[in-house]
C-alpha cells in the first residue's frame, strides 16, 4: 500500500480549513493512507510568480525535503502542483528526490482520475454547476482539453463529477478563459483582475450555473470576493466539497 503526503496550500490551511478537510476525507474514503506533514508551509508560488528566484528556491528546497519520502503527494490545487511539476526544475534539478516529487505530485481530481480510478461515488448534488477550468490545472496539468488546441475533447473534472447523482452542467460561452486571479496579479493588475473576474462570473450567471466549481480554491476565492461585494445570485464551491457530501 502506498503512502500519500497531503499538501495543503498555505492560504487554504489558514482560510479554508473545511475545504481542506474535505480533501482529506475523500482520499480516506477510498481507503488510502494519507498523512499531513506538520512542518509544511508554502510551495513558493507567490515568490516565483513575482520573479523572486532566491526566495522561491528556499521554499522549493523545503518542499522537497518534507515530501520526498511519500509515494505520492496530493494537493487540492492545480497551480501549486503545476509549480512543483514545471517550475521547480530551475531550483531543484539534480537534487536527490526531485524527479520523484516531480513525477508523483498530483492535483486531487487528477489523482482520483488517473490513480484511484473509482467506478462510482456515493454522492448526490442535485444542482446546476458550472466548471471553472482554472488555467494552471487546465493548460499546464492538462485536466481537460483546451479550446486553443485541435484535440479530442475531454475533461477529467467532468468525468469525476459525472459520477455525482443529480448534478447537471451549465454550458458557458467561454469555456476556459482566465478568471483574473493570477496570484500577485490580482493585486498588481487590480483593474484587469476585477474586469476578468466579473466577466467570468457573468458568463456563469448567463448560463444558469447555481454554483461555480473548480480545482483551484484561489480562483474561487477571487470570484467569491466579487460575488459577495456585488451581491450576485451565484455561489462558488470547491470541488472536494461536492465530492465529500455525506462523508464523515
Cell representation of residue 228: 459577495
> Is 182 a residue that touches another protein (CB under 8 A)?
yes
> Is 49 a residue that touches another protein (CB under 8 A)?
yes
Which CB, 71 or 228, lies closer to another protein?
A: 228
Dihedral sign, CA of 217, 220, 226, 231?
A: negative
Residues 218 and 229: beta-carbon distance below 8 Å: no
> Is 36 a residue that touches another protein (CB under 8 A)?
yes
The residue from 26, 27, 59, 161 that contacts another protein (CB under 8 A) is 59
Choices 55-63, 67-75, 100-108, 117-125; region in contact with another protein by CB under 8 A: 55-63
> Is 168 a residue that touches another protein (CB under 8 A)?
no
Query: Cα angle vertex 143, ends 122, 12, to 5°?
Result: 70
Pattern 185-224, another protein, x by CB under 8 A: xxxxxxxxxxxxx-x---------------------xx-x
Q: Specify which residues 229 forms β-bridges with.
A: none
The CA distance from 234 to 211, in Å, is 6
Other CB atoms within a 10 A radius of the CB of residue 46 amount to: 16
Q: Specify which residues 238 forms β-bridges with.
A: 214
The residue from 178, 215, 239, 240 that contacts another protein (CB under 8 A) is 178
CB of 215 to another protein, least distance (A): 15
CB of 14 to another protein, least distance (A): 4
Residues 94-153 close enough to bind another protein by CB under 8 A = 135-136, 139-140, 146-151
Dihedral sign, CA of 85, 186, 22, 160?
A: negative
Residues 3-32 close enough to bind another protein by CB under 8 A = 8, 10, 12-18, 20-21, 24
| Dihedral-angle region of residue 147 (phi above 0 means left; psi in -120 to 50 means alpha; beta otherwise) | alpha
Amino acid at each position: 500500500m502506498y503512502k500519500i503526503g497531503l499538501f495543503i496550500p498555505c492560504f487554504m490551511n489558514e482560510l479554508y480549513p473545511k475545504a481542506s478537510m474535505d480533501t482529506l476525507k475523500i482520499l480516506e474514503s477510498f481507503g488510502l493512507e494519507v498523512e499531513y506533514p506538520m512542518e509544511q508551509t508554502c510551495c513558493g508560488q507567490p515568490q516565483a510568480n513575482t520573479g523572486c528566484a532566491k526566495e522561491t528556491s528556499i521554499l522549493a528546497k523545503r518542499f522537497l525535503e518534507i515530501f520526498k519520502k511519500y509515494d505520492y503527494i496530493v494537493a487540492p490545487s492545480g497551480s501549486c502542483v503545476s509549480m512543483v511539476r514545471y517550475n521547480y526544475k530551475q531550483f531543484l534539478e539534480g537534487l536527490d528526490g526531485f524527479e520523484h516529487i516531480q513525477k508523483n505530485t498530483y492535483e486531487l481530481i487528477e489523482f482520483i482520475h488517473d490513480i484511484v480510478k473509482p467506478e462510482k461515488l456515493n454522492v448526490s448534488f442535485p444542482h446546476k454547476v458550472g466548471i471553472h477550468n482554472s488555467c494552471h490545472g487546465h493548460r499546464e496539468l492538462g485536466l481537460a482539453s483546451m479550446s486553443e488546441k485541435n484535440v479530442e475533447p475531454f475533461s477529467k473534472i467532468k468525468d469525476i463529477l459525472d459520477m455525482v447523482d443529480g448534478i447537471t452542467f451549465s454550458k458557458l460561452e467561454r469555456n476556459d478563459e482566465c478568471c483574473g486571479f493570477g496570484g500577485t496579479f490580482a493585486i498588481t493588475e487590480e483593474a484587469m483582475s476585477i474586469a476578468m473576474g466579473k466577466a467570468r462570473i457573468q458568463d456563469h450567471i448567463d448560463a444558469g450555473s447555481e454554483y461555480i466549481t473548480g480545482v483551484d480554491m484561489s480562483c474561487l476565492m477571487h470570484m467569491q470576493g466579487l460575488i459577495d461585494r456585488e451581491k450576485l445570485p451565484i455561489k462558488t464551491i470547491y470541488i472536494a466539497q461536492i465530492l465529500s457530501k455525506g462523508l464523515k
